[in-house]
Amino acid sequence: MVEDDGFRALDRQECLALLAEVPVGRVVYTRRALPAVLPVNFSLDEDGSVLLHSSAGSDLVRAIDGAVIAFEADEFHAASRSGWSVVVTGRATVVTDPAEQARLSRTGPVSWMHVRDGVFVRIESEMVTGRELTAVA
Amino acid sequence: MVEDDGFRALDRQECLALLAEVPVGRVVYTRRALPAVLPVNFSLDEDGSVLLHSSAGSDLVRAIDGAVIAFEADEFHAASRSGWSVVVTGRATVVTDPAEQARLSRTGPVSWMHVRDGVFVRIESEMVTGRELTAVA
């Protein structure tokens, strides 16, 4: 469906396929009652959850563990004024199950940052929305 | 200063210079008590404010007019695992002054979306933070 503003809404499968193509997205959350955003590299789990790798004691992990957050990724091309964006909204939780930790150590993302006492964070893909902008005449 | 996690903090002038290089950033705000994020094209005003162009009746404009929001832009390179991100936090307001509207009609951003009853939104750059990630060994 092409909306009034020139965007086409993407379905969940389209959104997850696009998310799988890019290495970096943005965690959107609330910190000290203000909107906050931090880009991170990520991967997708088999069920479509977003997986992050970070330091256990980082401000990010402390701020988002247990909270409902948004995770956004996009890709735009200035020359054609086209592109897409996808937003996953869901609960973020630090993975504590040892078997799950072991699995993600093999298959999960490796942070681009220096990580101390690394933990994996899972963002459930409870709500997945996306839109595609095609060139405007 | 290179921080523990491998990032170097950027000063305000570095942040504004980087923001001027990219056409698209992300508005980070709260909608129905949930974190929300929307990519938009933008330009910088002479004083470092972020300027958007949108439809007067859009959900975005209604949600952010008068609110303190965050605006983020970044650029990352997967091959070198390097890049930068900048976040502007400040109050967003619809520009209503006719002289200012006229000036922005000439010099302000032109939305990539279809816009009806276009308005300009100014995000004051009250707090500007940024960081640069250089390749991790």
Q: Going by C-beta distance under 8 Å and a sequence separation of 6 or more, which residues neighbour residue A62?
A: none
Q: Give the largest Cα separation in chain A, rounded.
A: 54
Q: What is the mean pLDDT of chain A?
A: 93
Q: Which fold has domain A7-133?
A: Pnp Oxidase; Chain A (2.30.110)
A36 has pLDDT over 50:
yes
Interface confidence, given as ipTM, is: 0.92
CA distances A23 to A51, A72, A96, B67, Å, are: 11, 12, 24, 31
Are B7 and A78 a contacting pair at CB < 8 A? no
Count other Cβ atoms within 10 Å, centred on residue A135: 12
| In chain B, where the domains are located | 7-133
> Over the stretch A43-93, which tens digit does the pLDDT of each residue have?
999 999 999 999 999 999 999 999 999 999 999 999 999 999 999 999 999
Q: Going by C-beta distance under 8 Å and a sequence separation of 6 or more, which residues neighbour residue A98?
A: none
> Over the stretch B47-86, which tens digit does the pLDDT of each residue have?
999 999 999 999 999 999 999 999 999 999 999 999 999 9
Interface probe with A: pick from B114, B116, B124, most Cβ of A within 10 Å: B114
pLDDT for res A1: 46
Mean pLDDT on B95-101:
97
Q: Taking Cα atoms as reference points, which of B76, B50, B71, B80 lies closest to residue B132?
A: B76
Residue A112 sits at the chain B interface (C-beta within 8 Å): yes
Name beta bridge partners: A85: A74, A131
**Which string of b and e fits A33-71 if b means at least 16 CB within 10 Å?**
eebbbbbbbbbbbeebbbbbbbbeebebbebbbeebbbb
Q: Going by C-beta distance under 8 Å and a sequence separation of 6 or more, which residues neighbour residue A96?
A: none
Chain B residues close to A112, C-beta within 8 Å: 81, 133, 136
Give me the residues of B, 78-97, that contact A with CB < 8 A: 78, 81, 83, 85, 87, 89
Q: Going by C-beta distance under 8 Å and a sequence separation of 6 or more, which residues neighbour residue B26?
A: A26, A37, A72, A74, B37, B38, B39, B40, B71, B72, B73
Mean pLDDT on A6-33:
95
pLDDT for res B1: 46
pLDDT for res A2: 52
Are B114 and A4 a contacting pair at CB < 8 A? yes
Interface probe with A: pick from B8, B26, B77, most Cβ of A within 10 Å: B26
Chain B residues close to A89, C-beta within 8 Å: 34-35
Are A68 and B37 a contacting pair at CB < 8 A? no
Indicate the pLDDT class of residue A98, thresholds 50, 70 and 90.
Answer: very high
Chain A residues close to B7, C-beta within 8 Å: 113
Are B55 and A30 a contacting pair at CB < 8 A? no
